[in-house]
Chains A and B, each alone.
Chain A
Amino acid sequence: DAGITQSPRHKVTETGTPVTLRCHQTENHRYMYWYRQDPGHGLRLIHYSYGVKDTDKGEVSDGYSVSRSKTEDFLLTLESATSSQTSVYFCAISAMAGVGSYNEQFFGPGTRLTVL
């Protein structure tokens, strides 16, 4: 299995509090991604990174920010958590990207976040 860890694995928090989720990889892959998974929606991309300090928005980025100061770490922050952000969050990594290129993504174990 690809060396991807996520922390915490489970978290319960209250509305309005800040929350940071961490994704750590040991594969030295350039590309990293944050997804959320909700019933009836499959996985949806929140943000992605194509290098250190290089990030961009995905399809559901409102209310989330990310940072990548090192190749191995990609942080997802909910500045002020809301109940609609209750979800399972998955981090993924890939060695390559780009249309026309092979781009297998490896997924972490997920973080289950509950916002009360």
Chain B
Amino acid sequence: EAQVTQNPRYLITVTGKKLTVTCSQNMNHEYMSWYRQDPGLGLRQIYYSMNVEVTDKGDVPEGYKVSRKEKRNFPLILESPSPNQTSLYFCASSLSGTANTEAFFGQGTRLTVV
């Protein structure tokens, strides 16, 4: 089944403890991206990648890191999480590297930083 898979689905962590949220797609998509969703603020882009080894900042990159060493994986890293990073996170992928084709979303990761 074609899909985007995020893990974990839910995570509660403490301030300052490094964490990684994984994202994997099995559709051979060029483009991958991370968004955070907060009430009233919509989907804000954190980072995106147009291809392997190519990553760029989105609208809210502060406090996050990403890597794209393989086409299928695009992990999101929080080196030192803070409470303001409590949010619902979505990974998405798209066939076209320029993001002008349908984006498929993962099931979301609900992160709470205390």
Question: Do they bind each other?
Answer: no
